[in-house]
Structure 1
Amino acid sequence: MTTDMPAVTVGIDFGTLSGRALVVAVDDGRELGSAVHEYAHGVVDRALPGGGPELPADWALQIPQDWRDVLRLAVPGALAASGVRPEQVIGVATDFTACTVLPTTWDGTPLCELPRFAERPHAYPKLWRHHAAQPEADLIVRRAEEAGLPWLARYGGRISSEWQYAKALQVLREDPGVYAASDRWIEAADWIVWQLTGEETRNPCTAGYKGIYQDGAYPDAEFLASLHPDFADFTARIDHPLTPLGSPAGRLGAAAAALTGLREGTVVAVGNVDAHVTGAAAQALDPGHMLAIMGTSTCHIMNSDVMAEVPGMCGVVRDGIVPGLWGYEAGQSGVGDIFAWAVRTTAPYEYAVEARGRGISVHELLSEKAAAQPVGGHGLLALDWHSGNRSVLVDHHLSGLIVGLTLDTRPEDVYRALIEATAYGTRTIVEAFEQAGVPVTDFTAAGGLLKNSFLMQTYCDILNRPVHVLAAEQGPALGAAIHAAVAAGAYPDIRAASAAMGRLERHAYTPDRARAAAYDPIYAEYRALHDHFGRGGSDVMHRLRALRADTSADSRADSSAVTSTTTPPAPNC
């Protein structure tokens, strides 16, 4: 390859609402061009695209064609924006939300794309934030505790409703026909690589963190049968040799080359998770360096040379982030989603008018007004559980709470209280790691929320430690491109590629000591509420959720009865 045609890689990042492709120079990580494709269907949480009954509460599905369209539209768009030629691309890598899983046939065809399953919700991919499998997750935990299974401690003593086994068990219990037809049960992170290469592969990241793969094995058939007699064979649906992170999964097939505009035979790296792959982009791979990927939710990842049992962590997996180290994960199920909720529900019309007149968003307006307040000036305290709690309680049937509301409470008060609550949640996670003997020496932030400087400074003050930031707009896509460079042989390993291609701004935020001190007693109040509602002091949140679910079910049944008995036939037009 000549000097005027530098080697590049393409990172493809599949998010919750959109997918993006990024073209990156292999020598130094320069971002040469990118393109974004918004999913046509977004998150399917009301009804299937073809109509039909309303989906139950806590459901979240996606459409595989939306993911293919990222390959069809975003990849050629990024190539065009960068001005590079397909022959310059030496490798491709993808990352995906997790645990986003789907049932398929033996050849990888999603069941939802078969006509006989098009109207069956359980045949569709379940997005990471599908939380309707909480009863199944609770059952898995109870049976594992009864059996004294050692792997449970590797997940902080809890299994999330977001993960593979809970979601699959829900399918079996609620639609056995779909379960029986699912030859393969696969993370979207691996399925998209299957589409690119034509060969099924599995990665150790999703297997370990979302698939209960520990010490070379999945849960055995005896344990699975204790959950449901017909579940004993489930592991066969996911079992496949694991390919190390940063390794080639295969080469781009002819159909995928035609779809993307890339050359057939281009190296494709093994799949990965959006949060975990960002560690390479942020140069946050050393032991003790925690990375928080902050967007609609937040995922916290960190490497360590020691293995410890951290209460409420999402998992500790050997080689889960980079080969040779123990990779830890924790997270918060709702962050940016909570702020979006606040804008939708608390900001009156005049705020939108003011923001539009000044050429800023309502988020920016609320942040500006909130930043003018002193610590504690709004008199509010919130729990950041609008989408449940991932860490450290691992309970997606918890719900949000705001204490201290009065007739004088303003939208910016609520907005600031929610930002602070998510920062308190992160501090709770950091303290859980340190109390378990896994020190956090550095804290780096990445993701879309970096654009809000008030939010970032608030996190810095509440954590009372410097916050580094990823100095790249497309962190996961850059991380994927780094992995592609390793898979293509441009670097010997992920850490070497990260050092050359990653982007980190150290000490982007430093704590204000006065504000940090003022936050300490409020954080103590947060922990009191956290433990009261999350650790058994009051079960009211669970009772209210159950009441809502029962009422919704009755309402759907009543609606169906009315429709079937009283609706006159439509005129024959």
Structure 2
Amino acid sequence: MNNPYVIGVDFGTDSVRALIVDTQTGQAVGTHVHEYARWKQGLYCDPATSQFRQHPLDYLEGIEATIKGALSQAPAEVRGQVVGISIDTTGSTPGPVDETGLPLALRPDFAENPNGMFILWKDHTANAEAEEINNLAHHWDTDYTKYVGGIYSSEWFWAKMLRTIRVDEAVREKAFSWIEHCDWISAVLTGNTNPLTLKRSRCAAGHKALWHAEFDGLPSDEFLTKLDPLLAGQRDRLFHDTYTSDQAMGTLSPEWAEKLGLSTDVVVGVGAFDAHMGAIGAEIEPYAFVRIIGTSTCDILMAPNEEIGHRLIRGICGQVDGSVAPGMLGLEAGQSAFGDVYAWFARLITKPVRELLGDEAADKMAAKLIPHLTKQAEQLPVTPTDLIALDWINGRRTPDANHTLKSAIAGLNLGTDAPRVFKALVEATAFGSRSIVDRFIEEGVPIKKVIAIGGVAKKSAFVMQTLADVLNKPIQVAQADQACALGAAMCAAVAAGVHPTMEAAQQAMGSGFDAEYHPRPELVPVYEMLYQRYRKLGGFVESELAKNAELVSA
């Protein structure tokens, strides 16, 4: 009998990729990547105000192009053996929809309105709304933030929704409901986008929308109405139940089956966020700390409910039963910028070149810049008096979310050059990682191993070695180039009934690890001193920014 195949689809910040995987061997037989056309042009975004929006057409075009492209690479007989598709996306990336579940931006009257689009995870236009949510929750009879680390973030569902309906009357009038990207694109494939009946992701709802069984679902209508009367009645137009990613959302609709050349018997699994499915693809196990390292990081831990479920972990992005694997508590943390820190520095250097010498010269320089800086930074000594930088260039996600924070570099002098600044920035991202690890340990959650996936983990030995030195822990790098898509494929295999559990799917389809970094004993104590300086600088900057905010509000 021919082996069944599944397709994992991974929607990232800049592109979407599909991966076709043999459910019995884990062999990938086809893959394709599609860059978002509108996003690539910078449309609907304003980095200066932290506005980042994505048009749903980018998603629709992307899923069709990637699945078709991946199938075109696979042997012809594979097409008839595909039994499941599951999807992961960035998050929280919600958008407004009408009564049929159609995103407003797909209607002619909202086609160019950024407020009718999906609001990307790194959009921070709702900082004020997040603060209002926190202030009210902390003084309400039920603290609805207790399972998301005690701090609600402007990167999440309710803050973005509230901000949008406040500033855009047209969206407020036409938006029947709101939906996460991972829920909507999965529902599209099934043909049922009705916001009242489609299956919502436990992962997205629990980590970003304050859903919890203790609250009988979402926060009460009384709480939401007190937050802002504009939210009155919204709870009833959202959802009550949520579903884990081992479950089926439905089967492929006739429209999409014809479009993709697949059977209507293909099961579409319930979606989730990229980090959580990426952790599955990285073969997460209890108390393994999985770092998905790209433009930002998401950190995922998984622990038995009976051992950790009674604890409330301060300052993280949530603890949700079943957000990674059913029956296990999923814990999420992360940094708002990691690779973005290095990309910012590259733009800082190349922009004058682009302006003075043109795009061709700047593009050539940009392609060589980070490898060149890396080679030079690797040769620099590590001393207790080195430059210290903060990784908060896009605010701080965890521990203790605060997206109003800014980055800083201390110790500059006339001898400071680009490689030294780059080295400090790499160390800053490692120090930010260390602060997350420390928080978990302080809160009684042990970390027994560290696993890394993502572009930075695969491409930069310098970054990974620095991270191992700062954490003082070995780091295994997953072999899979597309661990998130592989994790989605594993989820599809369980949703389609090929494997009984996530663990069984991991054992059959996992690809292991291809690199391991060990801390260098001679540098561990030096980095400990630098880390303490990082913490001191961070405390100073945070306190000064707080003082400035008080002066502005006074």
TM-score when normalising by structure 2: 0.92
What is the rounded CA distance, in whole Å, between the counterparts of 2:463 and 2:81 in structure 1? 40
8 Å Cα contact 2:57-2:106 kept in structure 1? no
8 Å Cα contact 2:384-2:527 kept in structure 1? no
Residue 127 of structure 1 deviates from its aligned partner by: 0.6
What is the rounded CA distance, in whole Å, between the counterparts of 1:116 and 1:499 in structure 2? 49
What is the rounded CA distance, in whole Å, between the counterparts of 1:354 and 1:56 in structure 2? 22
Residue 7 of structure 1 deviates from its aligned partner by: 1.8
In the TM superposition, 1:466-481 aligns within 5 A as 466-481=474-489
What is the rounded CA distance, in whole Å, between the counterparts of 1:461 and 1:481 in structure 2? 33
In the TM superposition, 1:76-87 aligns within 5 A as 76-84=68-76, 85-87=78-80
Residue 343 of structure 1 deviates from its aligned partner by: 1.1
Partner of 1:19: 16
Residue 37 of structure 1 deviates from its aligned partner by: 0.4
Partner of 1:551: none
Taking a change above 3 Å as real, the CA distance of residues 250 and 271 of structure 1, as seen in their structure-2 partners, is: same
Residue 27 of structure 1 deviates from its aligned partner by: 0.6
Partner of 1:331: 334
Partner of 1:258: 258
Residue 119 of structure 1 deviates from its aligned partner by: 4.3
Is 2:428 the counterpart of 1:421? yes
Residue 113 of structure 1 deviates from its aligned partner by: 1.9
Residue 232 of structure 1 deviates from its aligned partner by: 2.1
Is 2:5 the counterpart of 1:8? yes
Partner of 1:185: 178
Residue 262 of structure 1 deviates from its aligned partner by: 2.2
Query: Any idea what the Cα deviations from partners look like across 1:373-428, whole Å, max 9, x if unmatched?
Result: 11138831100011110001301111111111222211111111111001000100
8 Å Cα contact 1:355-1:365 kept in structure 2? no
Of 121, 128, 146, which aligns to 2:139? 146
Partner of 1:301: 300
Taking a change above 3 Å as real, the CA distance of residues 147 and 253 of structure 1, as seen in their structure-2 partners, is: same
Q: Secondary structure at the match of 2:49?
A: coil
In the TM superposition, 1:181-330 aligns within 5 A as 181-199=174-192, 200-215=198-213, 216-284=216-284, 286-305=285-304, 306-307=308-309, 308-330=311-333
Partner of 1:70: 62
Query: Any idea what the Cα deviations from partners look like across 1:497-524, whole Å, max 9, x if unmatched?
Result: 1122123328711110111111010100
Taking a change above 3 Å as real, the CA distance of residues 506 and 113 of structure 1, as seen in their structure-2 partners, is: closer
Query: Any idea what the Cα deviations from partners look like across 1:83-137, whole Å, max 9, x if unmatched?
Result: 2431111111111000011111121211112222234332111111111001000
Q: Secondary structure at the match of 1:42?
A: helix
Is 2:33 the counterpart of 1:30? no
What is the rounded CA distance, in whole Å, between the counterparts of 1:172 and 1:69 in structure 2? 27
Where in structure 1 are there 5+ consecutive unaligned residues?
A: 49-53, 548-573
Is 2:393 the counterpart of 1:386? yes
Query: Any idea what the Cα deviations from partners look like across 1:531-559, whole Å, max 9, x if unmatched?
Result: 2223x354367589x89xxxxxxxxxxxx
Query: Any idea what the Cα deviations from partners look like across 1:261-282, whole Å, max 9, x if unmatched?
Result: 3222211111111000011111
Taking a change above 3 Å as real, the CA distance of residues 260 and 382 of structure 1, as seen in their structure-2 partners, is: same
What is the rounded CA distance, in whole Å, between the counterparts of 1:37 and 1:303 in structure 2? 31
Residue 471 of structure 1 deviates from its aligned partner by: 0.9
What is the rounded CA distance, in whole Å, between the counterparts of 1:349 and 1:112 in structure 2? 37
Query: Any idea what the Cα deviations from partners look like across 1:286-336, whole Å, max 9, x if unmatched?
Result: 221110100000000101121222221010111111111111001101111
Residue 355 of structure 1 deviates from its aligned partner by: 11
AA partner of residue 329 (structure 1): E
Query: Any idea what the Cα deviations from partners look like across 1:131-167, whole Å, max 9, x if unmatched?
Result: 1001000000000111142332211210000111111
Superposed CA RMSD: 2.4
8 Å Cα contact 2:405-2:545 kept in structure 1? no
What is the rounded CA distance, in whole Å, between the counterparts of 1:169 and 1:477 in structure 2? 32
8 Å Cα contact 1:43-1:61 kept in structure 2? no
What is the rounded CA distance, in whole Å, between the counterparts of 2:40 and 2:303 in structure 1? 35
8 Å Cα contact 1:398-1:542 kept in structure 2? no
Residue 193 of structure 1 deviates from its aligned partner by: 0.9
- The alignment covers a number of residue pairs equal to 535
8 Å Cα contact 1:44-1:60 kept in structure 2? no
Q: Secondary structure at the match of 1:202?
A: coil
AA partner of residue 510 (structure 1): H
Q: Secondary structure at the match of 1:34?
A: strand
Residue 466 of structure 1 deviates from its aligned partner by: 0.5
What is the rounded CA distance, in whole Å, between the counterparts of 1:236 and 1:296 in structure 2? 36
Partner of 1:553: none
Is 2:440 the counterpart of 1:433? yes
Taking a change above 3 Å as real, the CA distance of residues 324 and 506 of structure 1, as seen in their structure-2 partners, is: farther
Partner of 1:564: none
Q: Secondary structure at the match of 2:204?
A: helix
The 10-residue stretch of structure 1 (428-437 or 22-31) with the greater mean CA deviation from structure 2? 22-31
What is the rounded CA distance, in whole Å, between the counterparts of 1:150 and 1:237 in structure 2? 22
8 Å Cα contact 2:384-2:530 kept in structure 1? no
In the TM superposition, 1:313-462 aligns within 5 A as 313-346=316-349, 361-376=368-383, 379-450=386-457, 451-462=459-470
8 Å Cα contact 1:378-1:413 kept in structure 2? no
Query: Any idea what the Cα deviations from partners look like across 1:199-228, whole Å, max 9, x if unmatched?
Result: 222110001001100124110011001111
Partner of 1:561: none
Partner of 1:550: none
Q: Secondary structure at the match of 1:13?
A: strand
What is the rounded CA distance, in whole Å, between the counterparts of 1:43 and 1:314 in structure 2? 29
Residue 8 of structure 1 deviates from its aligned partner by: 1.1
8 Å Cα contact 1:485-1:497 kept in structure 2? yes
What is the rounded CA distance, in whole Å, between the counterparts of 1:360 and 1:337 in structure 2? 16
AA partner of residue 187 (structure 1): E
Of 484, 496, 507, which aligns to 1:499? 507
Q: Secondary structure at the match of 1:321?
A: coil
Partner of 1:568: none
Q: Secondary structure at the match of 2:9?
A: strand
AA partner of residue 120 (structure 1): N
Q: Secondary structure at the match of 1:514?
A: coil
AA partner of residue 58 (structure 2): D
What is the rounded CA distance, in whole Å, between the counterparts of 2:30 and 2:504 in structure 1? 23
AA partner of residue 83 (structure 1): P
8 Å Cα contact 2:92-2:120 kept in structure 1? yes
8 Å Cα contact 2:221-2:232 kept in structure 1? yes
Residue 182 of structure 1 deviates from its aligned partner by: 1.1
Partner of 1:557: none
What is the rounded CA distance, in whole Å, between the counterparts of 1:361 and 1:93 in structure 2? 37
AA partner of residue 97 (structure 2): T
8 Å Cα contact 1:43-1:62 kept in structure 2? no
Is 2:49 the counterpart of 1:57? yes
8 Å Cα contact 1:47-1:55 kept in structure 2? no
AA partner of residue 416 (structure 2): T
What is the rounded CA distance, in whole Å, between the counterparts of 2:267 and 2:44 in structure 1? 38
8 Å Cα contact 2:190-2:252 kept in structure 1? yes
Q: Secondary structure at the match of 2:522?
A: helix
Q: Secondary structure at the match of 1:29?
A: coil
What is the rounded CA distance, in whole Å, between the counterparts of 1:190 and 1:160 in structure 2? 20
Residue 45 of structure 1 deviates from its aligned partner by: 6.1
What is the rounded CA distance, in whole Å, between the counterparts of 1:516 and 1:383 in structure 2? 19
8 Å Cα contact 1:445-1:467 kept in structure 2? yes
Q: Secondary structure at the match of 1:10?
A: strand
The 10-residue stretch of structure 1 (189-198 or 68-77) with the greater mean CA deviation from structure 2? 68-77
Taking a change above 3 Å as real, the CA distance of residues 115 and 239 of structure 1, as seen in their structure-2 partners, is: same
